[in-house]
Amino acid sequence: MRNQSVCTSGDYARAPSAGVSTHLIDPTSGDAATRAISATVVAPQAIVADALATAAYIMGPTRGIALLEQQGVHGLIVSADSTQVMTRGMSAWLDHPAMHAA
């Protein structure tokens, strides 16, 4: 993969501690973001992919995918019930040989 970055945000890798279930907080409620398990974004710059992955994760599948489409990047969000939702162009990235390199 050239001239692209891939970043994922999610809470699946962190164990809850001291009553905090995630490090990602929904700013509209002040509570833990729970609409998604993870969000992965492909963008030209890592800083953009990272920021948009975090935002899409917090926003959840419906609003998150709309944001990614609006920003012209590709992404995949796994919802809280494990449903996968992706932007129109993401399937091409999932089929890309670089994604399957050993």
Looking at residue 55, what is its pLDDT?
95
As a whole number of angstroms, the distance between CA 38 and CA 45 comes to 19
CATH code of 5-100, in short, is 3.10.520.10
- Top pLDDT among 33 and 68 is at 68
Give the predicted TM-score (pTM) of the model. 0.81
Helix or strand (DSSP H, E) at 36: strand 36-43
Q: What is the pLDDT of residues 34-69, one digit of tens each?
A: 788 999 999 999 999 999 999 999 999 999 999 999
Cβ neighbourhood burial of 26 (10 Å; 0-12, 13-18, 19+): middle
Average pLDDT of the residues of the chain: 84
Domain boundaries, the chain: 5-100
Residue 88 reports pLDDT greater than 90: yes
